[in-house]
Amino acid sequence: MGNDHLSRGNTVSPVRSAVAGAISGAVARMFTAPLDTIKIRMQLAPPGQGRFGAIVAATVRHEGVRALWKGNVPAEIMYVFYGATQFASYQALNQALARLEDKYPHALKPVASLGLHSLVTGFGAGATSTLITYPFDLLRTRLAASTSRELLSMRSVLKTIGSPRDLFKGINPTMLAVALNTGLMFATYNQARHVSKRYADFPFIEGVCGFVAGATAKAITFPLDTLRKRCQMSQSRSSAWQMAVKLWHAGGIRSFYQGVTVALIKSAPTSALSMWAYEWTLGAFERTGV
């Protein structure tokens, strides 16, 4: 097993972390784009109509196979920027929080525990990355949901953006959902890496830990993810709370979990590839002296 570059107080430089994060984001997105498109359409479908097989069949039949990669250009850009900012900000916050914990050991003793340290650091990293990359996330969602046969119907989607403010529509539930998801993912990943030390020779251990972390975090935060997608697609000025009430009246708790199966199928391998690519890239930097 290689070095754990995400452990408490690790001293990876921001530049290396950003480059490795950008590469990890590109690799993860490249292989999971079709699942993301189907997940978004399942979340936006009317209650009871978001079945995986039916949506895949309808998408391919009416729009062609290429439609499964619809929205991939802004998504790829988003993943690259998000990966870079997420891992760079995580490392910066990780080191800063570790110094504070060492300086004030009694006051920050609860935070110094492995899980809580990673949760707090990951939450901050997720919030930072979301703020920077949110417009790309909104465009990705609208492109993936579009039923136009054009693979890159960017022009038609941009026409739905009335003002620069609209590029940040739905950012409040998104910030909460992504920050919480990121915090839980890093916390679970670090716990999994800690437990897996006894399996040091197991191949792709970083990916296995990332798989577990991604699935755990997504299962917990999925209702917030559904809510943010609805807010991003809404043409009204409804607040996140108003949208949540509408969803509840439409189908109860099941409305919030529509598409959760494909989301787990997508998020787990995405996290696995992302964590593996990040750790592998930093390991390559160390081996080559870059």
Residue 33 has pLDDT above 80, yes or no: yes
pLDDT average, residue stretch 132-149: 72
CB–CB of 197/1 below 8 Å? Answer: yes
Q: Which has the minimum average pLDDT: 51-65, 129-143, 146-160?
A: 146-160
Instruction: Report the C-alpha dihedral over residues 212, 197, 96, 113, rounded to 10 degrees.
Output: 80
Q: Quick: pLDDT tens for 148-193.
A: 655 445 566 666 666 667 777 778 778 888 899 999 999 999 999 9
**Could you tell me the pTM of the whole model?**
0.77
Among 12-21, 99-108, 225-234, the minimum mean pLDDT is found in: 225-234
Mean pLDDT of the chain: 83
Q: Which domains does the chain have, with CATH numbers?
A: 14-288 (1.50.40.10)
Q: What is the pLDDT of residues 237-283, one digit of tens each?
A: 667 778 888 888 888 888 888 878 878 888 899 999 999 999 999 99
Q: Confidence band (pLDDT; 50, 70, 90) for 121?
A: very high
Cα 130 from chain centroid?
9
Lowest mean pLDDT among 27-41, 46-60, 130-144, 155-169: 155-169
The total of other beta-carbon atoms located within 10 Å of residue 112's CB is: 16
Candidates 230, 264, 168; CA nearest to 43 is 230
DSSP code per residue over the chain: ----TTSTT----HHHHHHHHHHHHHHHHHHHHHHHHHHHHHHHSPTT---HHHHHHHHHHHH-GGGGGTTHHHHHHHHHHHHHHHHHHHHHHHHHHHHHHHHSTTTTHHHHSHHHHHHHHHHHHHHHHHHHHHHHHHHHHHHHH---S-TT-HHHHHTT--SGGGGGTTHHHHHHHHHHHHHHHHHHHHHHHHHGGGGTT-TTHHHHHHHHHHHHHHHHHHHHHHHHHHHHH-SS---HHHHHHHHHHHHTHHHHTTTHHHHHHHHHHHHHHHHHHHHHHHHHHHHHT-
pLDDT in the model for residue 4: 83
